[in-house]
Chain A
Amino acid sequence: MGVIELAAMGFITVLAALISVNVGVLCFAAWSNDSACREATRAAAQRPTANDAKVAAAVVAQQFTSSPGSVVTSPKVLLDGNKFEYQIFPDADGKPQMDQGPFVRVTTQSIARLPVAIIFNGAKLTDTIAFTQSYTFPILTPDTADADDGLDDALVTDDEDAAEEEAKKADVEGADETIPVYVPTPEPAPAPAPAP
């Protein structure tokens, strides 16, 4: 085999291999980022508040770990601009309007670092490509309920019956009270006879 042929063969083989590796990395990055974005959006769509949704999306996205050697980075949720949007179309009371179609949009980004820099960005040689993906899903559990614990205030109120005051004072206990352990519930007793 002549030197020229050998060189040509070697060049073609190496080039094909490098292209294959690069294409493989790009495909992996696109698939990984797409899966991460979809799962992150679905997780965010099941959270009742925008902050919860951001956290849920970030946690899910991070579960898609980077590839060996960090050729493809772990997907990140983008929060700037309109990359992340949690819209419940609140009414005058701040409650979500379900007929308006509350939605959440999540955008994720993965960076693929090519093993061989064969991609030119203008005149500058670059070996990294960013993959971004965005999905919009309906928010399934919008909820404006305040989760603060107002129990202490509420416990002292009673608009039921003044006659219950005495019993109430005796019965009202603090939030740290002990809950009775399980006692097997007996079958319901036969109904008592009506009062005369």
Chain B
Amino acid sequence: MPAPARSLSRKSQGITSLVVAIVALTILLPIGLLAFEIARVNLAQKQLRAATDSAALAAASILANSSGTDTEVLTAAKSMALEFFKRNQVTGVELAHTTLSTTTNTDSPVKGHATLDVTLDKAKNRIRVMAAFGSQPAFADFLSLGTVPIRSHSLAGYTGLEGDIVMVVDISDSMLNATKSVIGKRTYDATTNKVSYKVVRASKAPAHIGRLGSKSAMPNPLTVNLDTPLLSSVKDSTPELKLAALMEAKRGNLESQEIFESSKTNTGPLNGVITPQSGYKAEFQEVALRSSEPLASEKVAISEFVNELQGSDNAHLGLVTFGKRNSEGADAMDSYSTYAGHIYPHINLSKTDHNKDKVVSAIYPSLTFYGTDTKGGMVEAINMLTGPQHRDDVAQTIILLTDGCPTTGSPKPSAKLAGEKGIRLFAIGFFQTANANAKGKKPLQAMVAACGNGSKMYLAPDLPTLRDVLKQISHGTLALINDN
């Protein structure tokens, strides 16, 4: 090739290289910057999502503890969501400049500012948080770009308690200890052929009020609340007359005219005032059951708890009750144990039936039985949850409800066994007194610690608290819900 031609070729190649270099700078560099911006926006999106996650969880936590109207709950949820949203940051920018809005889908906040909206689905126990954040690309000024709105939303709520659930319910005698009661003395004087009545004590029942009277003749409970509408014919009468009526009803002397006559109760202050009629004794027992505290409150709370679970077909219930013995080991020698067929209500788990109505029906008429066989109740519950009627691949939960200390052995090994079998334990101390709380709390703590698996202990000194605790348990776990 001639020299001028080679020179021209080199110049051509040099120009080509220069063009390539310029193209590389003018095309590849912007592409690189664009890739960087996309990565940055994605990171901002992730961080905004984390902020809305935090806000949604905080707002949803309101649901567990609020009993207000929808408006009140939503107001509280918005406040909580905004507080947590502001505590976070996106691309290093604090979200302190955030305002509530109902148009986050179209909002275009200025740089570093954000808008937040919260909606409530109370029926499903869910809260949705939506946010828009004004993000400015790193090279916005150079490229003359404005603020880019980044949006995100999160849904949080309670998953609901599901799986196989066995309720282990304490029906020991101390479940009567908070009953308003009266103890009366009935004396028949054969000489005068009169029956007299005397109030011995009217207060909260002593611990063993249930033992008053003949064990074989009269089942628990023997306590009664004078404020209940029992025997309306004497409700507004004198305390003595009321006491007389209650005692006669309790003894069954008002069941028929014949019994009434033979019991000599047609004498004394009742004569001519009360007409004997069938059902008095049953009414007494019915009212006494409803008035026996904390047993009655326990039943109310359990019924409400079961109703809370009605919406979940995947929650299958079992019931174990325990007093001196557990459901399976009922002491047949105890004359109370066969009363009305209600000894230690027991509903086994079922693969096909959620048992909710059965549990409510079974727990209501239960009476009380001496000591506190927590260990026996736990073992029986474990047997249910590992027995032929348990379901595979579902969560297994024991809900223990007790008001006192174990009296028949340590329940800790049974809790440990439950833990080894993957069972979670919710232990509720329904302690009515400071003494019971101080002593009863420790075994529950030990059980929860031994069981593990996310087990928890709750203390409920009264019915409202017990309701809240069971409501909290029925709501299940507070978690983010994937709705994408």
A residues lining the B interface (CB < 8 Å) = 1-2, 4-6, 8-9, 12-13, 16, 19-20, 23, 27, 30-31, 34-35, 38, 42, 45, 98-99, 101, 103, 105, 133-138, 140-141, 143, 145-151, 153-155, 157-164, 167-168, 171-180, 182-185, 187-188, 191-195
Contacts and interface: CB of A to CB of B under 8 A. Distances in A.
B114 to A, nearest CB: 15
B208 A161 contact: yes
User: In which size bucket is the chain B interface?
Assistant: 35 or more
23 contacts: A16-B24, A16-B29, A23-B32, A30-B43, A98-B65, A101-B58, A134-B89, A136-B84, A137-B58, A145-B456, A147-B449, A149-B412, A150-B443, A151-B412, A151-B446, A155-B443, A157-B405, A158-B405, A159-B405, A172-B408, A178-B413, A184-B387, A185-B380
Nearest to A170: B408
A155 B410 contact: yes
Contact of A160 (B58, B88, B207, B346): B207
Q: Pick the 3 closest A-B CB pairs, nearest first.
A: A150-B442, A191-B341, A136-B87
A1 B17 contact: yes
Given A8-B21, A98-B65, A138 B54 contact: yes
Given A136-B88, A168-B371, A175-B410, 4 more contacts: A16-B24, A173-B409, A187-B348, A193-B341
B340 interface: yes
B348 A188 contact: yes
Contacts of A136: 54, 84, 87-88
A161 B207 contact: yes
A140 B442 contact: no
A182 B211 CA distance: 35
Given A161-B370, A171-B409, A12 B21 contact: yes
Given A101-B58, A185-B383, A188-B346, A149 B445 contact: yes
A153 B10 CA distance: 98
Interface in B340-366: 340-343, 346-348
B17 A6 contact: yes
B61 A160 contact: no
Nearest to B384: A185
B14 A2 contact: yes
Interface string B72-109: 00000000100110011100000000000000000000
A167 B370 CA distance: 11
Given A145-B445, A185-B348, A172 B409 contact: yes
Contact of B442 (A133, A141, A151, A183): A151
Interface string B160-177: 000000000000111000
B435 interface: yes
Nearest to B427: A145
Given A145-B448, A151-B442, A176-B413, A27 B10 contact: no
Interface in B24-62: 24-25, 28-29, 32, 36, 39, 43, 46-47, 50, 53-54, 57-58, 61
Nearest to A178: B413
B478 interface: yes
B84 A160 contact: no
A143 B61 CA distance: 15
